[in-house]
């Protein structure tokens, strides 16, 4: 077997502009490479990988990117699709966390605001600043004067590098957002935070890791992790063993004793949150809106999303398989009741729901907290731990702080490798704050005059030029998949050939969010998308039907809806 070329710093700088293709052929090739390495490497002292990352959510993606940029040989293994869990089921916000100020977590807020500023720089196409409106009503737990003090502190913790907050009288608040209830309104504050696409942020992070030499293998469940001398052995389903110098577990709510031994027992408290998607015409808010849950120390968001608006989130203790988290009538009733008090003219009702999503937050359990404490009171800080077998795990944290969590984790990996005399030569320091997630020059103002190119750039950054060229060569690829949504068929082809999509659900839910934005959950085009996917990998008509059935079941579990025939 030829020696694996390390992607050391000397090799990292002159990289290609785009990540390598990631389609069916590349996925098969990686599987074959791992099987060959397993057969040839049993009993060999030198492992093929410096680091195996278990989990392809945002935390695992961040660790992989950081390690690859430093020059380590990295493999990511994931039981399902990238961003399958929490990382595609969040509130889609990059924010400092205004409510954490009340909990006294100034360090977490400072870190999150610093990371928000860095994400503006390295992921500006997908992390967009927005002005949030936070109204205060008579009887609210946080009156207007407290909001003024809190947002002044928020500005200070951002080092005044963002647009500062403003305080609005009731008339000015309603002029800015006419949907607000007039009765009892004491005023409002506006402040800066950011919106994002959590799944595509995870994808872009993994793609940059791949661009710098990392490999990613999805649908590869880990059965066990054990140590053989100085080598960590990761056993995958199907009796395949991967050998590495170090292992990082970033499995989110799936972090468990199976992966970490006794260190994984009673480590997490799981919290379930749901979001509802409605037509923008039914909830026509002009900017992201913050709503207080009056009897609890938590807040909700109403966020405009093109032709849609989404609202959430709930925050309730959860015990069960994180993949089975769904949306119940009680969840929707709770959200509608809370939002309806502030937006009485919004059209809210079960029959107005376009789609929904549900996810489970992995919160680090406080050993001193009572078992019945609300999950909203549990800190969103992260923890890095190391097992007796030398496996490192990163748990908890926030989407916003994923880059700094990864830096801290890889620092720990490098330190342990150095202590054991296993650190390869030429390994550098963290570089993730210096390099954009998507390489290439940002689109110029002239390019952005083209509406199609400008729209693609919101999801793909500089890679939009590549998709635009394909549309120019074949105009059929520029047709919209769903008439009132911006996504086009070129993005389906790109997801199949360059974004590692294995199943129909991967495309419809995480590459192109038709499952979240289309009133029919993508049922009208699911067969065509499945046909293109299965044809690309050389499957049969039976495989197409299997993909459709798999997608129907995924939608039933997450949204509670039964798809129309596809």
SS (H, E, C) 114-149: HHHHHHHHHCCCCEEEEEEEEEEECCCCCCHHHHHH
CB proximity list for 358: less than 8 A, separation 6 or greater? 89, 272, 273, 274, 275, 325, 326, 327, 331, 558
Decide if pLDDT at 545 tops 90. yes
Q: What's the confidence (pLDDT) of residue 14?
A: 38
Mean pLDDT of the 532-548 span: 98
CA nearest to 359, candidates 391, 388, 316? 316
How far from chain centre, in Å, is Cα 362? 13
Task: Evaluate if residue 401 carries a pLDDT over 60.
Answer: yes
What dihedral do alpha carbons 101, 107, 113, 118 form, nearest 10°? -170
What's the burial of 392, exposed, middle or buried (CB within 10 Å: 0-12/13-18/19+)?
buried
Query: Would you give the DSSP letter of residue 480?
Result: B
pTM recorded for the entire structure? 0.94
198-211 helix and 58-70 helix, angle to the nearest 10 degrees? 20
Summarised one tens digit per residue, pLDDT across range 55-103 is 999 999 999 999 999 999 999 999 999 999 999 999 999 999 998 888 8
- Give the per-residue pLDDT at 18: 86
Q: Which residue has the higher pLDDT, 266 or 115?
A: 115
Instruction: Examine the pLDDT at 421 and tell me if it is beyond 60.
Output: yes
Q: Work out whether strand 353-364 and strand 268-279 pair parallel, antiparallel, or are unpaired.
A: antiparallel
Q: Answer yes or no: CATH 3.40.605.10 is held by domain 24-86+200-266+379-420.
A: no
Share in percent of the chain as helix, strand, coil (round to 5): 40, 20, 40
202 touches 88 (CB < 8 A): yes
**Pairing assessment for the beta strands 74-77 and 215-217 based on DSSP bridges:** parallel
Segment 338-396, tens digit of pLDDT: 999 999 999 999 999 999 999 999 998 875 444 555 555 566 688 999 999 999 999 99
pLDDT tens, residue by residue, 127-145: 999 999 999 999 999 999 9
Fold for domain 121-195+268-377? D-Amino Acid Oxidase; Chain A, domain 2 (3.30.9)
CA 28 to chain centre: 25
Query: pLDDT digits over 205-257, tens only?
Result: 999 999 999 999 999 999 999 999 999 999 999 999 999 999 999 999 999 88
- What single string gives the DSSP state of each residue in 220-277? --EEEEEEETTEEEEEETTTEEEEEEEEEE--GGG--HHHHGGGGTT-EEEEEEEEEE
* DSSP conformation class of 492: H
Phi/psi of residue 482, nearest 5 degrees: -125, 135
Q: What does pLDDT average to over the chain?
A: 92
Which helix H or strand E contains 316, and what residues bound it? strand 316-317
**C-beta separation of 317 from 375 below 8 A:** yes
- The domain segmentation of the chain, as residue ranges, is 24-86+200-266+379-420, 121-195+268-377, 474-559
Q: At 269, phi and psi to the nearest 5? A: -115, 125
Sign of CA dihedral 361, 362, 365, 366: negative
How far is the first Cα of the chain from the last one, in angstroms, to the nearest whole number? 46
Whose tokens are 């080598």? That residue is 231
Q: According to the model, what pLDDT value does residue 379 have?
A: 62
**Calculated CA dihedral for residues 99, 103, 108, 114, nearest 10 degrees:** 40
Read off the pLDDT band of 10 (50, 70, 90): very low
Residues in the chain: 566
- Segment (H or E) for 37: helix 24-41
Tokens of 434: 């210096």
Region 321-332 average pLDDT: 93
Residue 15, pLDDT score: 42
Structure tokens at 216: 């990613």
Neighbours of 26 (CB within 10 A): 17
pLDDT band at 4 (very low <50, low <70, confident <90, very high): very low
**pLDDT single digits (tens) 293-311:** 877 778 999 999 999 999 9
Q: 169-213: per-residue pLDDT in tens? A: 999 999 999 999 999 999 999 999 999 999 999 999 999 999 999
* 188 touches 140 (CB < 8 A): no
């Amino acid at each position: 077997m030829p020696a694996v070329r390390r992607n050391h710093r000397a090799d990292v700088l002159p990289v290609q502009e785009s990540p390598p293709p990631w389609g069916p052929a590349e996925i098969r090739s990686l599987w074959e490479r791992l099987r060959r390495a397993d057969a040839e490497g049993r009993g060999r002292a030198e492992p093929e990988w410096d680091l195996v990352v278990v989990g392809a959510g945002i935390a695992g993606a961040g660790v992989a990117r950081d390690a690859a940029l430093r020059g380590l040989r990295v493999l990511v293994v994931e039981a399902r699709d990238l961003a399958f869990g929490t990382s595609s089921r969040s509130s889609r916000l990059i924010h400092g966390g205004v409510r954490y100020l009340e909990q006294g977590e100034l360090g977490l807020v400072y870190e999150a605001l610093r990371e928000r500023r860095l994400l503006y720089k390295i992921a500006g196409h997908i992390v967009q600043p927005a002005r949030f409106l936070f109204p205060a009503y008579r009887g609210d737990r946080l009156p207007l004067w407290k909001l003024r003090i809190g947002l002044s502190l928020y500005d200070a913790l951002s080092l005044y590098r963002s647009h500062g907050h403003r305080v609005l009288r009731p008339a000015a608040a309603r002029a800015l957002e006419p949907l607000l209830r007039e009765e009892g309104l004491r005023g409002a504050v506006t402040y800066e935070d950011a919106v994002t696409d959590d799944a595509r942020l995870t994808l872009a992070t993994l793609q940059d890791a791949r661009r710098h030499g990392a490999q990613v293998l999805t649908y590869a469940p880990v059965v066990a992790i054990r140590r053989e001398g100085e080598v960590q052995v990761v056993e995958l389903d199907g009796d395949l063993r991967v050998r590495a110098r170090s292992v990082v577990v970033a499995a989110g709510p799936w972090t468990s004793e199976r992966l970490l031994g006794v260190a994984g027992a009673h480590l997490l408290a799981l919290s379930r949150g749901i979001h509802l998607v409605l037509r923008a015409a039914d909830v026509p808010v002009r900017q992201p809106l913050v709503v207080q849950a009056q009897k609890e120390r938590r807040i909700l968001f109403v966020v405009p999303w093109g032709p849609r608006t989404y609202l959430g989130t709930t925050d309730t203790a959860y015990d069960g398989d994180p993949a089975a988290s769904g949306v119940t009538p009680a969840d929707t009733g709770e959200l509608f009741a809370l939002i309806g008090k502030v937006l009485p003219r919004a059209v809210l009702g079960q029959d107005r729901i376009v789609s929904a999503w549900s996810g489970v937050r992995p919160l680090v359990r406080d050993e001193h907290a009572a078992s019945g404490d609300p999950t909203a009171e549990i800190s969103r800080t992260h923890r890095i731990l190391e097992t007796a077998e030398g496996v490192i795990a990163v748990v908890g944290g926030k989407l916003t702080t994923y880059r700094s969590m990864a830096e801290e984790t890889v620092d720990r990996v490098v330190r342990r490798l150095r202590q054991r005399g296993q650190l390869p030569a030429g390994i550098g320091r963290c570089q993730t704050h210096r390099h954009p997630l998507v390489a290439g020059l940002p689109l110029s103002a002239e390019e952005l005059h083209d509406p199609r190119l400008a729209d693609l750039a919101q999801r793909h950054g500089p890679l939009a030029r590549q998709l635009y060229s394909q549309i120019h060569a074949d105009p059929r690829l520029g047709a919209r998949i769903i008439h009132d949504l911006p996504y086009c068929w070129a993005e389906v082809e790109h997801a199949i050939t360059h974004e590692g999509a294995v199943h129909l659900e991967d495309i419809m839910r995480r590459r192109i969010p038709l499952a979240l934005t289309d009133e029919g959950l993508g049922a009208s085009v699911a067969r065509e998308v499945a046909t293109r996917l299965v044809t690309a990998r050389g499957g049969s008509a039976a495989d197409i039907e299997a993909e459709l059935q798999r997608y129907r079941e995924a939608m039933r579990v997450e949204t509670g809806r039964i798809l129309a025939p596809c």
